[in-house]
Amino acid sequence: MPANKILIVDDEEIIVKLLSMSLRSDGYETITASSGEQGLEVFKEQTPDIVITDIKMPGMGGLELLKSIKKIDSEKEVIIVTGHGDIDSTITALQYGASDFINKPVRDEALAIALQRAKEKIAIREKLKGYTENLEIKIAEATAEIHRKSNFQLLLIKSSTDAIVAFDYDWKVVVYNPEAARMFGEPAKDVRNKMYIDDLYTPKIAKIFKNQASAKKGQNTFPWKENMLNTKDGRKIPVRYTSNVLYEKGEFVGTVNFFQDLTEIKRLEKELVQSERLAAVGQTVSGLAHYVKNILIGLKGGSYVVDVGIAKNDTEKLKTGWETIKRNIKRIGDLTQDLLTYSKQREPEFETCVPNDIVNELIELLKDFAASKGVRLLKELDTGIGEVLADPKTIHHSLLNIINNAIDACLEDEEISKRHEVKIKTFRDSNNYICFEIKDNGCGMDEETQKQLFDPMFSTKGGKGTGLGLLVTGKLIEEHKGVIEIKTSPGDGSTFTIRLPHEKAIKVDIN
């Protein structure tokens, strides 16, 4: 609002007139009075914004007028016009709240400056007044905004599909969202502001986050990692997690952890692998049909031989035919088993077993068959292996398959003069995996064959192989988290090495 109305008070009429004229020409509205008393009256009536008054007047002087005006309205600006050297009066005027002084004779520039200052003061005061009036509304608005924002953040945390758990500097839980409650199985009311990190997490998980917080300063975010989350109520949840260590002005103030439940993703991954595997089986049904046809040939031939045996009452024929039929029934059984093993997801069943015993059993089982084909079975077993916790079915199946393959590789070898042998070695490697090495000096494989080894239905054995053997073996070993390695050279033979992780056998105390 422009401060436009000025009251001029002076007992010298000429000065009043001159000032008034000068101010009017500058665009101000002026009113005048020729004494202190009159000035006060006019002030009360007209409420000017600024008063310019002479200090020395008969009757009520400038100071008196100033005092009276300030009493009525302390915010009015009063400019005092003084004579030279009137220090005492000046100080008194200041005490009474005069806004400015102009020396007589009044110069236009001095007046302009004084008025400008007065106007600025008024403007500031008005602004301030506006602020004060608005302050309450503004505070209310700001409070609402803060409320809205924090509600929004709370809602964000609440509705997050990640489990969010935050701890203060004392490792007390301060944030614990519904997803966290679902994951950890503890209701929020029992956790938030009540539990500490060790109450909520298993020691293993708690240790990870504590270590992160105490790790070198500056690193406050950590990459996503995967782990198995063991909840206090005994569930195992595959999770992806990360954490942020929170600092305020360099001081550790807390930690926030994020967990993503991977159960569904893991399930989908498994399903995908499963469907790929089934597709692979489907694609190669012709290979399978070929194998089944061979079994059928065996069965038909066998039943013909049996028919002849019955007709001639020839026991020898009956026996031969019956053996053929039984052998082919077994081939169908093995094929079905392989197909089932291959198409189904299987978790290894860990139990206490002695790997060397399994090798010995297999050598006993295959010895005569190998010898009849002119192949020697040798062994070199590390007796230090002893009992371990592993899946004996995986070991048995994989070794049986690979030893059989090794014998076949010897039979395939065109180098007949060679003394063929298959050597089975057991040992522990530097990772403490139990290892089985099956080494033959048979025909070996070229690069092309080696590439196709783990393809479904690939067989080097013509109609005699299902093309599933090594595939099933590979899958079993993979499920056991082990690895299979192959070294081969055409004409020199092949070496298959199976490496399986295991756990220490648990001694069960029967008493």
Partner 1 sequence: MSKKVLVVDDDSDVRSFVVTVLEENQYIPLVAQDGVEGLEMIEKMQPDLVILDVLMPRGSGIRLYHKMKTDENLKKIPIIMFTGIALRSFLKSQKVLDEFKGGEVPKPEIYLEKPVEPEELAAAIRKKLG
CB of 341 to partner 1, least distance (A): 25
Q: Which residue has the tokens 């200041």?
A: 94
How does 469-506 read in b/e, with b if 16+ C-beta sit within 10 Å? Answer: bbbbbbbbbeebebebeeebeeebbbbbbbbbebeebe
Tokens at residue 132, please? 């004060």
DSSP symbols for 432-488: --EEEEEEE-S----HHHHHHTTSTT--SSGGG--S-HHHHHHHHHHHTT-EEEEEE
In the bound state with partner 1, the residue whose beta carbon lies nearer, of 355 and 465, is 465
What is each CA distance from 508 to 155, 356, 377, 505, in whole angstroms? Answer: 52, 21, 35, 9
DSSP string, 330-397: HHHHHHHHHHHHHHS------EEE-HHHHHHHHHHHHHHHHHHTT-EEEEE--TT---EEE-HHHHHH
> CB of 288: closest distance to partner 1 in angstroms?
14
Contact 394, 348 (CB under 8 A): yes
Q: Toward partner 1, which CB reaches closer, 109 or 414?
A: 414
Q: What is the smallest separation between the CB atom of 308 and partner 1, expressed in angstroms?
A: 5
> What's the closest the beta carbon of residue 457 comes to partner 1, in angstroms?
15
- Is the CB of 321 or the CB of 355 nearer to partner 1? 321
Rounded-to-integer distance, Cα 7 and Cα 19, Å: 10
- Give the residue with the Cβ less far from partner 1, 416 or 508: 416
Supply the DSSP symbol for 314: -
Q: Count of CB atoms within 10 A of residue 37's CB?
A: 17
Q: Which C-beta is closer to partner 1: that of 353 or that of 407? A: 407
Return d(Cα 441, Cα 489) in angstroms, integer: 10
Cα dihedral sign, 414-418-422-425: negative
| Cα–Cα dist 385/389, whole Å | 11
Toward partner 1, which CB reaches closer, 288 or 484? 288
3-class secondary structure, 46: helix
Encoded amino acid at 273, one letter? V
Smaller CB distance to partner 1: residue 76 or 420?
Answer: 420
Other C-beta atoms closer than 10 Å to the C-beta of 123 total 13
Question: Closest distance between partner 1 and the C-beta of residue 323, in Å?
Answer: 8
| Beta carbon nearer to partner 1, 317 or 480 | 317
- How near is the Cβ of 292 to partner 1 at its closest, in Å? 11
Copy the structure tokens of residue 486.
């192959």
CA atoms of 398 and 348, how far apart (whole Å): 13
Question: Which residues of this chain interact with partner 1, rule CB under 8 A?
Answer: 290, 293-294, 296-298, 300-302, 304-305, 308, 317, 320-321, 324, 327-328, 408, 411-414, 416, 462-464
Q: Least distance to partner 1 from the beta carbon of 293, Å? A: 7
Nearer to partner 1, 216 or 419 (CB): 419
Read off the tokens for 212: 């992160």
Which is it for the CA torsion 118, 119, 124, 128, positive or negative? positive
- Report the residue number, 61 or 302, with the smaller CB distance to partner 1: 302
The 10 Å Cβ neighbour count of residue 455 is 14
Closest approach of partner 1 to the CB of residue 373, in Å: 10
Measured in degrees and rounded to the nearest 5, phi and psi for residue 296 equal: -60, -40
Shortest distance in whole angstroms from residue 298 CB to partner 1: 4
Least Å distance, CB 488 to partner 1, is 17
Whole-number minimum distance, CB 416 to partner 1, in Å?
7
**Residue number, 177 or 328, with CB nearest to partner 1:** 328
Q: Within 13 Å, how many C-alpha atoms sit on residue 85's CB side?
A: 0
Quick one: 61 or 467, whose CB is closer to partner 1? 467
Where in 56-126 does DSSP place strands (E)?
Answer: 77-82, 100-103
The minimum distance between CB 412 and partner 1, in angstroms, equals: 5
